[in-house]
Structure 1
Amino acid sequence: MHDYLMAEDSELWDIILDGPFVPTRTNTETEKLEVKPTKEYTETDRKAIEKGLKVKKILICGIEPDEYNCVSSHETAKEIWEAFLTAHEGTSQVKQSKIDMLTTEYELFRMKDDESIQDTNTRFTSIINELHSLGEIISIVPHLLTVFCLREQIRNLVLYLFFSGLLVFISVTIM
């Protein structure tokens, strides 16, 4: 979503982060800022408000009815975005629990006896991608050495990597 909004207009993402633009004026009697009445909006004020509405429209038009029901009560794009984050990532405690669960799944990951290399790779990549989406970066190379530790599996892995173009030459000594 970030990239899409930045491509549309770089100010749109700022509206999600900072909240909507609210036109204000200084009250001449109290010297305090107050919200401008609509009839005093300038062209610049109107354009800034329109950008906020554009972001809200982009967020709302890209979701399904069930998600819409969860965010329809929110007034601003920032509130909608925060509701999306909570719904999809959860609170910081939920996020940490997901990271812990996926890290354990990663650490215990092994190739199943009846599983192809491609299926193993798909499962493994899914775990890594989920961790990455939660902000957890893991080095996969050391772990791959333990995942594919059986001789037959090593042979299958080498063949898979060779035929997929990921491996040009390898010298392996099996003890």
Structure 2
Amino acid sequence: MTAPFNLEEGQSSARPPRFNGQFYRWWKTRMHDYLMTDDSELWDIVLDGPFIPTSEVKNGAEEYNRIFACESEKEIWDCIRTAHEGIEQVKESKVDMLTSQYEGETIHDMYTKLSSITNELRSLGEPISTSKKVRKVLRILSKSWESKVDAITEAKDLKVLTMNALIKNLKTHEMNRSQDFSKKR
């Protein structure tokens, strides 16, 4: 695909490519790349249209009444945030409750729950670093995992160990334990 002679250089990456009615395929590729760089879900919206919820929003009047007296966008934001996240003490209680929920399941179940909890924590403004998640997973494993946890801790640099690598390692060990257990029966 050849680029238009006068548009090959000098385009800004901060602005979308301009379509002048010629070289559609060139423009389409550039527009796709521009939108994917900014937000990959935006390209899906361009192709499929926006997602429009089909269920009825409950308590819309309640939300409206909650913010009706607010006089600025900041007041509206704070009011809605407090209503749904609570004050700081409630938020901290939610964080504590969520972090206590990922104990005692299969590795797959534990990781699924951990992902859900850490995503919710991120939405509450409490993102968890990968290193901290790795250490948390190793800490919450039951006593029967102690030798595996020790082996991972000694063999791996926990600061750079990814969650995928850890979970893969733990699932492999879990499968081997299951096979060993079924052989003993």
Q: TM-score, normalised by structure 2?
A: 0.38
Q: TM-score, normalised by structure 1?
A: 0.40
